[in-house]
């Protein structure tokens, strides 16, 4: 996190006053393919997965697609 804060200070926002209100850190598992998977994996189990690190941006859309899949089955 210190490296990211230094990068922010020196490269992204040089000579700019700012405050960091929140930050998150954790493990993010991403693969080579970015296309989400929305499908049945068995007769009674469906998945809406592989958001490629874009869960906040596309999670609602993929969730809706998953719900549609379940409702149409």
If one counts the domains in the chain, the total is 1
The token pair at 25 is 């850190």
Element (H, E) at 17: none
Q: Which residue segment(s) compose the domain that 16 sits in? A: 2-72
Interacting residues of 45 by C-beta distance below 8 A, sequence separation 6+: none
Mean pLDDT along residues 28-47? 91
Pair type for strands 37-40 and 46-49: antiparallel
pLDDT computed for residue 42 by the predictor: 97
Q: Which of 44, 10, 52, 64 is nearest to 28 (CA)?
A: 52
Please give the Cα distance from 11 to 29 (Å, whole number): 26
Residue 26 pLDDT grade (very low, low, confident, very high; cuts 50, 70, 90)? confident
């Amino acid at each position: 996190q210190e490296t990211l804060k230094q990068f922010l200070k020196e490269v992204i926002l040089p000579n700019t006053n700012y405050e960091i209100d929140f930050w998150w850190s954790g493990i993010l598992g991403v693969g080579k393919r970015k296309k989400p998977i929305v499908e049945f994996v068995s007769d009674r189990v469906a998945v809406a997965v592989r958001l490629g690190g874009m869960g906040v941006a596309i999670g609602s859309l993929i969730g809706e697609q998953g719900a549609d899949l379940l409702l149409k089955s």
